[in-house]
Structure 1
């Protein structure tokens, strides 16, 4: 896999673009802090972009499935560059409305880019390398997040807000150039189909396909469990900081979680070669549920750090495994619509969990909230684990690298 030129193009492009993305995110927060005094209005502005991404997801899925994935990624990368121009106007005129235009356009581009990327990865590497590739890609996004946020912090001290978005603009330009360099043999069946058939490719066809794929459906539902944790992650970190009366714990939590996430994504291929990935998926989600419950004792510093460390390790395993299941089990002609559907669900779930976390923190408090979320997670895992191990079940199917090992 590491001798594959396309792999390095994708990973290097993701690293540079990810740095640009996170410098832009820090710039967004700084601009909002300067021009929008209300926290509620800030959340509405951020929500506007996410809503635009959800609305366009069905269209994005159809376009990705009926056109070249590479071309979709190129146009989406170009759209990212155009969106940054709106922020230059927002800074120049001190206008929040231009920032709203930026949030909408950047999320529209993301709604096309990321599902197309997920659909392209199985065309770049062999099936038995997908798990390793997904783990490496997620590690690259984590490294980009660490570098991007640190770089943005330094730039805000010594340079203007323009510099952050200029860095984003250059990074997206590099992504556009690197995507253009990809050499991928795509399935001409969907790319060259008549326009009449392209229009007939319905987004709704994803649901019947999922019903016939128990593994994919189970993995999709189990994704809710880490999302119950991730959706309120930032609010939980703030609550723990207040609980311990220690502002430094916030940085430690983010550092520990990020480092263990990278460790999990690095080890996932080796562990999945020895343990059935489907079984591993259930074990991981069960661990995440227990971790949620363990935060009832978050006033103990070492226990809080340990819990977030195990959570980072768990999702470092979980997301590459589920991505590989989706890429190998869902038919390729549905990849664009499926990954757009998944992106839409993730965005909606994230917002629902974020709002629920804020509501619970204001009403029942942090410790009872984690008990509620942890219990819900355990019930979901227990129900689907019971279905999975029932006699005559059809959920358990080997992944590509397992098939290879059994044939040997």
Structure 2
């Protein structure tokens, strides 16, 4: 796998995109802090971009399934660069409306780019290497997040916000150039047939496909469990910092979680060769649920760091495994629509969990909230574990009843 040129292009491109994305996010927060006094107005601006990405999702999925994934990524890259130009105008005229344009266009770009990228990965590497590739890809994304945020914070001390976005613009330009270098053998005849068929096809076709694939449906629903943690991650970190009356704990939590995530993603390929990936998925979702419950004792510094470290390590296994399940079990002609559907679901779930976390923190408090989230997670795991065992037993019985050929 590591000898393939396309693999390195995708990973380097992901790193560049991540650095550009996170420097841009820090820049956005800095701009809003200067020009948007209301916290509610800030949330509305962020929500506007999210809503645009969700609304365009069905169209993005159909286009990705109908045309070359590489071309979709190239056009999305161009839109991403155009979005940064809106931010230059926002800074020049100190206009929040131009920033809204930036948020909308960059989310539209992401709605096309990332599902197309996930659909392209199975075309770049062999099926046996998918798990390793997904783990490496997520590690690179994590590293770029750490470097991007640290770099942006350091840059803002010595350079202007305008210069920060120039750096982001250059990063996106390099990403676009790297996309042109991809050499993927996409079957043009198949694309033509798919294109003709999808003119009248509905985005809703994904749902019957999922119903016919219990493993994929189960993996999709189980992503709710880490989302219950991730959606309110920042709010929980702030709350733990206040509980311990220690501002330094925030940086330690992010560092420990990120490092443990990379360790898990590095080990997932080796462990999955010895243990069934489906079993691993259940094991690590159970660990995530227990970790949520363990946050009840987050007043203790060491225990809170251990909880976030174990959480990060578990996600390092969970996300590559589920990504591989989706890429291998979902038919390739549905990849674009499925990954667009998943992206929409993730965005909506993230916002719902974020709002629920804020509401629970204000009403029932941190300690009861983590018990509620942990209990919900354990119930979901128990239900799907029983369902998976039943389906596996029925499949085995059918195989035994079928006459041997």
- Range of TM-score over shorter length: over 0.9
The answer to whether the aligner puts 1:13 opposite 2:6 as a matched pair is: no
- Aligned pairs (5 A) from 1:226-237: 226-237=226-237
The answer to whether the aligner puts 1:295 opposite 2:295 as a matched pair is: yes
> Which residue does 1:91 correspond to in 2?
91
> Which residue does 1:53 correspond to in 2?
53
Secondary structure at the counterpart of residue 379 of structure 1: helix
> Which residue does 2:173 correspond to in 1?
173
The 1:395–1:235 alpha-carbon spacing in structure 2 relative to 1, beyond 3 Å, is: farther
Q: TM-score, normalised by structure 1?
A: 0.95
The answer to whether the aligner puts 1:370 opposite 2:366 as a matched pair is: no
The answer to whether the aligner puts 1:273 opposite 2:285 as a matched pair is: no
In structure 1, how many angstroms separate the alpha carbons of the residues matched to 2:272 and 2:198?
Answer: 38
> Which residue does 1:41 correspond to in 2?
41
The answer to whether the aligner puts 1:337 opposite 2:337 as a matched pair is: yes
What is the Cα deviation at residue 16 of structure 1? 1.1
In structure 1, how many angstroms separate the alpha carbons of the residues matched to 2:387 and 2:115?
Answer: 29
Q: What is the total number of aligned residue pairs between the two structures?
A: 396
- CA contact 1:49–1:107 (8 Å) conserved in 2: yes
The 1:320–1:195 alpha-carbon spacing in structure 2 relative to 1, beyond 3 Å, is: closer
In structure 2, how many angstroms separate the alpha carbons of the residues matched to 1:194 and 1:279?
Answer: 35
> Which residue does 1:405 correspond to in 2?
none
In structure 2, how many angstroms separate the alpha carbons of the residues matched to 1:289 and 1:61?
Answer: 32
Deviations 1:172-230 (A, max 9, x none): 10111000000001132442238653312321100000011111000000000000000
In structure 1, how many angstroms separate the alpha carbons of the residues matched to 2:395 and 2:57?
Answer: 28
What is the Cα deviation at residue 270 of structure 1? 0.4
- CA contact 2:66–2:194 (8 Å) conserved in 1: no
Q: TM-score, normalised by structure 2?
A: 0.96
> Which residue does 1:137 correspond to in 2?
137
The 1:372–1:92 alpha-carbon spacing in structure 2 relative to 1, beyond 3 Å, is: same
Deviations 1:301-320 (A, max 9, x none): 00000000000000010000
The 1:391–1:231 alpha-carbon spacing in structure 2 relative to 1, beyond 3 Å, is: closer
Question: Structure 1 regions of 5+ residues with no counterpart?
Answer: 397-408
Secondary structure at the counterpart of residue 199 of structure 1: coil
In structure 1, how many angstroms separate the alpha carbons of the residues matched to 2:174 and 2:148?
Answer: 15
Deviations 1:250-297 (A, max 9, x none): 000000000000000100000111100000100111110000000001
In structure 1, how many angstroms separate the alpha carbons of the residues matched to 2:394 and 2:209?
Answer: 15
Secondary structure at the counterpart of residue 275 of structure 2: coil
What is the Cα deviation at residue 163 of structure 1? 1.4
> Which residue does 2:256 correspond to in 1?
256
In structure 2, how many angstroms separate the alpha carbons of the residues matched to 1:138 and 1:354?
Answer: 23
The 1:392–1:286 alpha-carbon spacing in structure 2 relative to 1, beyond 3 Å, is: closer
- CA contact 1:387–1:393 (8 Å) conserved in 2: no
- CA contact 2:139–2:265 (8 Å) conserved in 1: yes
- CA contact 1:264–1:313 (8 Å) conserved in 2: yes
> Which residue does 2:185 correspond to in 1?
185
What is the Cα deviation at residue 391 of structure 1? 6.2
In structure 2, how many angstroms separate the alpha carbons of the residues matched to 1:211 and 1:289?
Answer: 25
- CA contact 2:20–2:169 (8 Å) conserved in 1: yes
> Which residue does 1:221 correspond to in 2?
221
- CA contact 1:9–1:179 (8 Å) conserved in 2: yes
Deviations 1:331-356 (A, max 9, x none): 00000000000000000000000000
In structure 1, how many angstroms separate the alpha carbons of the residues matched to 2:395 and 2:116?
Answer: 27
Deviations 1:351-390 (A, max 9, x none): 0000000000000000000000000000000000111112
- CA contact 1:388–1:395 (8 Å) conserved in 2: no
- CA contact 1:231–1:354 (8 Å) conserved in 2: yes
